[in-house]
Amino acid sequence: MAKIGNIALGDFPLLLAPMEDVSDPPFRAVCKQGGADLMYTEFISSEGLIRDAAKSRKKLDIFEYERPIGIQLFGGDVGNMVQSAEIATAANPDLIDINYGCPVKAVACRGAGAALLQDIPKMVKMTEEIVKCTHLPVTVKTRLGWDDKTKNIAEVAERLQDIGIKALSIHGRTRVQMYKGEADWTLIGEVKNNPRITIPIFGNGDIDSPEKALEYKNRYGVDGIMIGRASIGNPWVFSQIKHFVATGEHLAQPGIEERVAVVKKHLDFSIRWKGDRLGILEMRRHYSNYFRGTPNFKPIRAKLVESLSLDEIYAILDDVAVTYAGELAIA
């Protein structure tokens, strides 16, 4: 049984990774229905929270049906991170997560995200101060190291556990790798099997099928798996993995009718959260992912992204369900 503090997550929990411009409440809603055990907000800038920036504040929105839910923060200044953790705590999530893994230049070049992998003492100090300032469990998401010469995750894991974090999620790449090449889970397994480590260790990177999830569970012994890109347009991935791990059998792939139904749910959540116009606009990025592999979908997508009428979008989706009835899209 994996536990983060007092939060029981089951025997082999599946976590939805925090993804910028993806892991908003509407997307989290369909992933929760699809079987995600623990979810995180998009990562939130500590400076943005302190300045009361509208975009950052909006990312604090969480809902009861999402629980357990973590708010993820990033920043390069210890004081600002502590202040933002206090603001996030007041939003009443189940835990606070610190991002030490984001590799993009706009984050790392400001001394935040994966940049902290170059300054482990500062990472430890920042984490320690955040643990002290909140009553909530604090978790961390990070990478193997900055580059191939500094894969220091074994040391990082011990030091962060020693100052009080309650779980660690590790992406199996360095910062220099970004998202290229194959994720290396060898060091993730070494961290998990270190007898000094008692907190849950979650592996992340390249899990895109039930078979790989079960293989990595058995090979590396992780407490659970964090899934990011494989969930985009495919919120069923969580229930598919759970079923395969439990039974060794595959769930049937969702047909077009089921995909249309979930797209409608996603769109409805988006409108309820952002309002009609913005909710419709922000849904545009998701259509191609939901209907990946559907023949001749490009002109249908064009109609969906051009329309600002909810009734019209619903009618287009209904046509998709009829036109492709009984067919499977390729997830």
57-to-54, 91, 129, 306 alpha-carbon distances in Å: 5, 10, 22, 29
**3 state SS for 276-305:** HHHHHHHHHHHHHHHCCCCCCCHHHHHHHH
How far is the C-alpha of 49 from the C-alpha of 157, rounded, in Å? 27
Selection from 223, 214, 169 nearest residue 193 by Cα: 223
CB atoms within 10 A of CB 252: 9
Chain centroid to CA 156: how far?
21
Contact between 43 and 74 under an 8 Å Cβ cutoff? The reply is yes
How far is the C-alpha of 122 from the C-alpha of 128, rounded, in Å? 10
3-state secondary structure of 79: helix
Task: Give the active site residue among 31, 102, 109, 133.
Answer: 102
Verify whether residue 102 is a known catalytic residue. yes
3-state secondary structure of 236: coil
How far is the C-alpha of 47 from the C-alpha of 50, rounded, in Å? 5
3-state secondary structure of 267: helix
Angle, alpha carbons 191-195-199 (nearest 5°):
65
Active site residues: 102
